Structure 1
């Protein structure tokens, strides 16, 4: 997928959801690469219908309109966020990715990623919320212990946006083989015991189609393509 990301750009001082606005634009023919950003997002959404909080002026809230999105879009998005973390994280922590797209620094989530769209019409909207300058103490109690930040200055939000869009553009143009290799190198679940709605087992890596491979206690392999997974207890 070629084409620069970030033009045109619609920026809001405050908005309910950048993803919702970007979807409205996509339906009316907005070109590939159109971006919606906001200083404050009041009704952001993450995976599984969770709310995503964006404190004013401290986190990126960006949604990108993508025409003919690739099947491994969310994996590419996670790698792009990881690249930004490598470049900007003040503590120099190494990013890991909890399938499918939770980017972690020391086990805590630094970004939310949500892809929505109408694939039958050839478009998707990719929403990313990235904690660039967030004070974790200012987050709601229910997410405070699970979230982290890059600990940058709010003045660096625009730089973070530029880096993110550049990285996303690169990963969207990378072939599946190279993308999967890079993703597997950051796999936070590999070899870990996990639970999901259908049972429990051990994460055994990422399949070529982006699904999560799980080895059950009976030696069978299960492939997950959606839903929530949770880390089980570590073996002693």
Structure 2
């Protein structure tokens, strides 16, 4: 089981934390119990959803499912970039794995998605909810996801625990927020830059080359001579080559 006391001991900036054996969604748990720097973790989720409402497959004891309720700092422009950078930095600190980031919120390893970030701004309050779903050593995926979904650890016995990785993710989150190096880490781990990408915008399929990122996390693309800046809230990449 995940040790919340150990996680909080290594992250004294967190005010409160809890671990549930099962939860419909840690995002919902956080929304229903708002508080600054409160961490909600579940060993299993039954109604997990990702960006654009996509279903997220979970397995008891095989993943990391957590959400942080937070009053945002006015200095941070994009918490999705910060969180994705913290995940990659934590994995590289504790393991020999080399994860990469698919714009804007997915963590990949060996060409398969192993984690996703979902940041929700609650317009009715001063809070944001940062959700993370990470396949730690999950091996069972639906047939239609087996070529797309992966896990941080597969057949090998994990050399670290979920508790250790969770603690390190939030340690990196706090550190990178303070020293403002998260954008550089995010950009360095992006595997989209330089590739041909395909996305839909207002019903039209557009093919372009991803050339750079803005500091706000928008993707700069070249559509055959025309430079265009696209927002993750407007489009989702369909293909990348």
Secondary structure of residue in 1 paired with 2:70: strand
**Contact 2:94/2:160 (8 A) holds in 1:** no
Deviation (angstroms), 1:85:
2.2
Q: Deviations over 1:141-180 (max 9, x none)?
A: 22221112121549811111111111111222232xx332
1:50 to partner: Cα distance: 0.6
Distance 2:238 2:91 in 1: 23
Q: Does 1:173 align with 2:181?
A: no
Deviation string, structure 1 residues 14-73 (Cα, Å, up to 9, x no partner) = 1100001101112xxx1x210111111011111111111220011011100111253210
1:100 is aligned to 2:104: yes
Aligned mate of 1:160, from 138, 157, 165? 165
Equivalent residue for 1:192, pick from 178, 181, 195: 195
In structure 1, the partner of 2:229 is 223
- Which residue of 112, 115, 140 corresponds with 1:111? 115
Q: Which runs of 5+ in 2 are unaligned?
A: 1-10
Deviating more after overlay: 50-59 vs 114-123: 114-123
Structure 1 residue 11: Cα displacement? 1.5
Change (3 A) 1:200 1:16: same
**Residue number in structure 2 paired with 1:131:** 135
Once the two structures are overlaid, the 10-residue window that deviates more, 13-22 or 62-71, is 62-71
1:34-73, aligned counterparts within 5 Å?
A: 34-69=38-73, 70-73=76-79
Are positions 1:147 and 2:113 aligned together?
A: no
Equivalent position of 1:13 in the other structure = 21
Question: Where does residue 202 of structure 1 map in the other structure?
Answer: 209
CA contact (8 A) 1:82 1:103 kept: yes
Task: Indicate the SS of the match to 1:52.
Answer: coil
SS in structure 1 of the partner of residue 215 of structure 2:
coil
Q: Deviations over 1:123-158 (max 9, x none)?
A: 1000001111212xx112222211121215498111
> How far did 1:6 drift?
4.0
SS at match of 1:53: coil
- List runs of 5+ in structure 1 lacking aligned partners: none
Q: Residue 199 of structure 2 contacts residue 239 of structure 2 at CA under 8 Å; is this kept in 1?
A: no
After superposition, the CA RMSD in angstroms is 2.0
Corresponding pairs, count: 220
